[in-house]
Chains A and B, each alone.
Chain A
């Protein structure tokens, strides 16, 4: 099956004009989501993963604003619309939200209104985007609830969120998000607030539904275990930029960017012998108002070279048929600085600026 993109983000810039200065929360992010696939976006807190997601919904919280780049959403006939260019309040944008791009939030406890029944909230979503009667919408909502594994769905329509457990609520949120058959589902840490067994169930359910509806998904997470379980592609973000993008197998076996490798090295593994220490990434994330010059990771990078990494901003470079990395060690003209080739290095290839095709 050939891969067709459903969403292409190119050089996205979302900035926040705070009183203290301009915060570049997302500063040149490019990534592609293919139809029917899951792209996991990983990174530490504050790296811009969530703001990227909000940008795709065109719902960046104030005082943030999309100031550059494009977010192209493709329909099944190949037509596309640039979300970044739409007015967040326009009817056109509202017609996309929920119907073509739907979102699942982190906190099932608070992402549903506490004073409306779950039936009311799902029916509202369906009737916003589909010309159906209230009865039909209700029947549809019951079917969705049944599908996500809510027992006695008809009775549950009249329940309030506080009468359900966290896992059940997240199922309701998923049912709601999928009720209009969206092409793209954005899940912002959908299982973080749940306990581990519930997490596994919810992930399993999301995978099933995705296969059924042929939905694409952007999964935002900091849990690499979740990534390994559900992702097809992975984008690693650091300080508002995508530093590496590849498929999930390549990332786990041949991660190139020092940050990606450090992230993978910091996961505890079964079978590690006693006394072996986890590698922590040294240092702290720099303050967003105080970004390092050159490569943003150079202050914490074990491979950083003085005079190069803290001076030259690396480009996102295609380093393999399906692999992009933003690191000078792979960039023409700089590779000789790095005496020891990082693992998984391939021949440095041509620079393609901030643009990359995953």
Chain B
């Protein structure tokens, strides 16, 4: 098991190097750079000399490999993610200030998604074609089909109109810059449910379908019949055998849930005005703020790789067939 984990961690290194190169190339692919985007809005208020000076200062004239090397060596050796042209602040400072709340929302959403989809998925598999199965399937498809921004708008309307909440953001105005207190935490909780539901709904619907399909596959396997023929009760049979085995793909969802919770919520975050990383990434991409965008993409990729690693380790722990091969 330890060897397995060690091997997997070792394999992450080349993957990450490759990802960082690709991420940097992709950021550079669109024609122009940050200065083209900047000067486009100024229409001749900057002289070509000034632009050339800035381009030289930001190192935009260097060959691409040199730019990449400056960027990646800074990250690896000094933890320096570069400088955001647009915000005129170090990238790491920007990211860290947004990351805390992002991780909080992602994590709580993940718990929400699991807590809701697991029991419903099990129920609709065990009672296949029953009323509850059809009901939740219906709800699930609606959840899958509703665009997140629409759901966000609807929930904000409901929250404002019927609960008298200040909507948008994660805090009411009076707590925005207040130090942490129980009241502020309560205020956060009151705001948190909207983004959690909005971000979590589609994932929940998807995981319900995954759980249902997996469990339906397992329910009719002979080992379930064996367990019943031993005289085991129905509930214990289900929990110990088919549900346990149907969990595997559920666990492997962690791999993609982690990054998509960070990046996938961009539109929701914009609509809900959340202080998370999503809108920051969107802005960076639009203004070709290359170090900020590149660092974001690198972080999301790292999260994907780490998420995959975590889910692989969990799977190996859960399933001896993987562990012993």
Contacts and interface: CB of A to CB of B under 8 A. Distances in A.
Contact of A89 (B220, B234, B319, B324): B234
Report which residue of A61, A96, A98, A162 has the largest number of chain B beta carbons within 10 angstroms of its beta carbon.
A98
Given A57-B229, A59-B225, A97-B231, 7 more contacts: A97-B229, A105-B226, A111-B225, A111-B226, A113-B223, A116-B240, A125-B231
A83 B232 CA distance: 17
6 contacts: A94-B233, A103-B229, A112-B223, A114-B245, A115-B318, A116-B240
Contacts of B320: 114-115, 160, 162
B161 interface: no
Interface string A66-105: 0000000000000000000000010000111111001101
Contact of B222 (A94, A107, A116, A125): A107
Given A105-B222, A111-B225, A98 B230 contact: yes
A163 interface: yes
A162 B321 contact: yes
Contacts of A110: 221-223
Contacts of A89: 234
B319 A125 contact: no
Interface residues of A, number: 31
Q: Is the interface of B mostly helix, strand, loop or mixed?
A: helix
A124 B245 contact: no
Contacts of B229: 57, 59, 97-98, 102-103
Interface string B235-256: 0000011001100000000000
A130 to B, nearest CB: 11
B227 interface: yes
Interface of B: 220-223, 225-234, 240-241, 244-245, 318-321, 324
Contacts, number: 75
Contacts of B319: 114-115
Given A160-B321, A160-B324, A114 B223 contact: yes
B216 to A, nearest CB: 13
Report which residue of A110, A113, A173 has the largest number of chain B beta carbons within 10 angstroms of its beta carbon.
A113
Contacts of A57: 228-229
Contacts of B232: 94, 98, 124, 128
A115 B245 contact: yes
Given A114-B245, A115-B245, A96 B225 contact: no
A99 B225 CA distance: 16
Contacts of A355: none
Contacts of A94: 231-233
